[in-house]
Amino acid sequence: MEKEQLRELPVAVFDSGVGGVSVLRELAKILPNENYIYYGDSRHAPYGTKTLEEVRRLTFEHVGELFACGVKGLVIACNTATSAAVRLLRERYPGVPIVGIEPAVKPAACFKEHPSVLVLATPMTIREEKFRRLMERYEDQARIIPLPCPGLMEFIERGDLRGEDLRLYLSKLLSEYRENRVDAAVLGCTHYPFAKDLIQEVLGSKVRIFDGGEGTAREMKRRLAGEDLLSGRTEKGRVEFRNSLPDPEKIELCRKLFDSV
């Protein structure tokens, strides 16, 4: 395909469900003229409590479908799928820019002198080798406390962002860390930024909250620019939402999350 045609193909954004919309929002902010196809695998969510093999298989299957539609790059807007599959995906598709999100441990560990940093993520993200290596890299600079959060993404998948059940769940999950007992929290799953206000309320107002969405979007911009693949369009790009569940409410929820600030 000619470079000019390639430039105008959409960017694919993949997640296990609706959470990756938090990354898509950042992409649309810094690359507003690109077209996007967002694919959420809500039928098989959550990924974070599955086995490594299952997450790899599901990720390869859906990414394969996305590539078959013709896309010029892929953002894996899922920390869990990134830890399970990004390396293998890059091996399988060597010519395509593939950017995967990972927990924003680096900015959190460096924002002040030796902070205590709570990392909220799925059980798989925390268990995987990729996260262990990330933690090792910063453990001299910060006290890093990994916290698996099974059950948290399900609230966001249901569109429950502020309910009493979520508040109760977070109060229990974070009971040891309330009242500003940590300096920072990393939202290491792309669903969690949609519960940021409640997480902040439970942890305390002085806690700095980090997530990897913006950094991931910046990295995709850098990669596309490096490959001379940025769209030449001047009008606003289009976003197409797809989901493995044939449920119009899922698409509706994605749109609502995309439009929320």
Active-site residues: which are they? 78, 189
Task: Point out the residue whose Cβ comes nearest to ligand DGL.
Answer: 48
Supply the minimum distance, in Å, between the C-beta of residue 188 and ligand DGL: 7
Supply the minimum distance, in Å, between the C-beta of residue 179 and ligand DGL: 27
Would you say 50 and 127 are in contact if contact means Cβ atoms under 8 Å apart? Answer: no
Supply the minimum distance, in Å, between the C-beta of residue 82 and ligand DGL: 8
Task: Tell which residue, 177, 171, 172, 213, has the closest CA to residue 193.
Answer: 213
190 sits near ligand DGL (criterion: CB under 6 A):
yes
Distance CA 104, CA 212 (A): 5
Would you say 22 and 212 are in contact if contact means Cβ atoms under 8 Å apart? Answer: no
189 sits near ligand DGL (criterion: CB under 6 A):
yes
15 sits near ligand DGL (criterion: CB under 6 A):
yes
Supply the minimum distance, in Å, between the C-beta of residue 17 and ligand DGL: 6
Nearer to ligand DGL, 177 or 192 (CB): 192
CB burial class (10 A; 0-12, 13-18, 19+) of residue 193?
A: buried
73 sits near ligand DGL (criterion: CB under 6 A):
no
Nearer to ligand DGL, 45 or 254 (CB): 45
Name the residue with tokens 């091996």.
91
Distance CA 32, CA 233 (A): 10
Distance CA 27, CA 24 (A): 5
- Among 10, 13, 24, 46, indicate the residue that binds ligand DGL (CB under 6 A): 46
Locate 187 and state its tokens: 């939202």
Q: Which stretch binds ligand DGL (CB under 6 A): 32-40, 158-166, 183-191, 252-260?
A: 183-191
153 sits near ligand DGL (criterion: CB under 6 A):
yes
Residue type, 198: L
CA 77 and chain centroid, separation: 4
Note the residues at the interface with ligand DGL (CB under 6 A): 15-17, 19, 45-48, 78-80, 122, 125, 153, 189-191
